[in-house]
A and B are shown apart, each in its own frame.
Chain A
Amino acid sequence: MLRLENLSCGYGPVVAVEDVSFDLPERSSLALLGPNGAGKTSTIMAIMGHTTIHGGRILFNDQDITRLPPVKRVDLGIALVPEGRRLFTDLTVEENLTVGGYRLSVQRDKINRQRVYDLFPRLSDRRKQTAGSMSGGEQQMLAMGRALMTEPKLLLIDELSLGLMPKMVDLCFDALAALKQDGVTILLVEQNTTRALDFAENVCVMTSGSLAFSGTSKQAKADENLFDVFISAAHE
């Protein structure tokens, strides 16, 4: 479904990601791991269309989307749960979901909205509350709900569990598991390595802008060197 071929990208002349390739088949899930500043967010933002591309290609269902504007990528079925959630803080919960369903018909909006409220009943209780006034966990639910409003085929999630209480983390991962069950392809960036490896079948590990490991979660769990990658990068 998604394929990165030797992708290099960054911000203006700055290069943040260099020569990264991976393949994400339909209905599969991939955990993208790595220490701070490794380029995980940049990779995700490149897939959504928010970075400067320096080389390589991004293919979505065999279509070259490397230079497609973000607006068009939404229509293809790519949705983003950005790092730090980045909600429209002075808009209400309902209004945030409205923006999520912006490209779809009013009927689809209604159906999807109900689905989001079923998945996260907490949001349903807070429809009229502004997004900025909610707790971190509720905000993460809303960020996921907003992305689900687009009816995504590929969901990009950057730091699902960051700053959340353990109970909230469980809740968010449960929701993610349900989506996976429904056939959504998932690319997950996550600090909580154990949770990520338990969730996703495949893993890529990035360090300072390039891929350091790529394989199945089973292989990753067995590979003792992998944890050294994190540790040595942290001491660099």
Chain B
Amino acid sequence: MYYVDLFLNGLIFGSMYALMAIGLTLVYGLLRILHISHAAVYALGAFITVIVANATGSIALGMLVAVVVSAIFGMGVYRVLYQPMLRYPPYVAMIASIGLLIFMEDAFRIIFGEQGLTFTRNPYPTQIHNLFGITINTVQIAMIVLSTICLVALALFTTRTRMGIAWRATVSNPTIATSFGVDAIKVRYLNFMIGSALAALAGGLIALLNNFVEPTMGFVVSYKALAIIVLGGLGSMRGTLIAALALGLVESFGTIWVGSYLDRDALAFLFLIIVLMVRPQGLTGAHA
């Protein structure tokens, strides 16, 4: 059962990477901006979850507040940071985005302290269950259930609803979409709202699993999310999902097989480099 556990563990981490990276893919697809500060939204989600949970005693409430506040924050980032920069080449916005990530990290450090925060009451990571011989804790179950719900809901939204279809149309051709009455500005806000909400959810869940949040938690994740969207073929949602799960699995098995030489985070980039050498167009092939 050891390998099954590893496999499941890889998928769980992969699903968190997916929640985190989808926002990046959405922003890149629509605006061609590398939204690096998305990782700060993830960290913000984690911090809010802990703070609200500790203040109210309800972790569920903490996650809910984190998702809502981060979604609003994400829309604010678009309005304040990106919208005025759309006239310039995309790297201008990207550099500003890196600046925001560094700024937020320091802000977290100043406000919440260097050492980070823990939940005052969080029994879930240590509640171990045995399902069909697989060992899994409560947080991991929540990760599987919540990420599945979110990803299925997102898939249904983008293929079954008019607004979701109009959203994809805007990604495909913004000018023409407006010729058919789609409000491109609304689509952008929607984009940042959904992407940020998903990142905050991932942040909250990771905080629960580790029972710990720290100011730098967004940094490594930001690199990984970038690796994932490149592997996924930049702008493709399906590619992002596959790349995220693949990375989770590579890390999970890699730490066992080569973990004594390479650290978990270094593995991700080794994987990225190898894949791009073999398939420069990313894992899922060319994106039109």
Contacts and interface: CB of A to CB of B under 8 A. Distances in A.
Decide whether A and B assemble into one complex: yes
A48 B165 contact: no
Given A95-B165, A99-B165, A99-B166, A70 B179 contact: yes
B180 A74 contact: yes
Interface residues of B, number: 18
B180 A100 contact: yes
A112 to B, nearest CB: 13
A91 interface: yes
Interface string B162-200: 100110110011011111111100000000000000000
A95 B169 contact: yes
A85 B183 CA distance: 20
Given A75-B181, A99-B182, A91 B172 contact: yes
A193 interface: no
Contacts of A91: 165, 168-169, 172
B168 A90 contact: yes
Size category, A interface: 20 to 34
Contacts of B162: 98, 102
Contact of A88 (B159, B176, B178): B176
Contacts of B180: 74, 99-100, 102-103, 146, 149-150
A102 B175 CA distance: 15
Contact of A90 (B166, B178, B182, B288): B288
Contacts of B177: 88, 99
A227 to B, nearest CB: 33
Contacts of B166: 98-99, 102
A119 B277 CA distance: 49
A87 B176 CA distance: 8
A110 interface: no
Given A89-B172, A99-B166, A50 B179 contact: yes
A50 B175 contact: yes
A211 B182 CA distance: 33
Of the listed residues A69, A90, A96, A146, the one surrounded by the most CB atoms of chain B closer than 10 A to its CB is A90
A49 B182 CA distance: 14
A161 to B, nearest CB: 20
Contacts of B172: 88-91
B288 A71 contact: no
A34 interface: no
B169 A99 contact: yes
A115 interface: no
Contacts of A90: 168, 172, 288
Given A82-B176, A89-B172, A95-B159, 12 more contacts: A48-B179, A50-B179, A75-B181, A80-B176, A86-B176, A87-B173, A88-B168, A96-B169, A99-B165, A99-B180, A102-B162, A146-B180
The 5 lowest CB-CB distance pairs between A and B, nearest first, are A103-B181, A74-B181, A88-B172, A99-B169, A88-B169
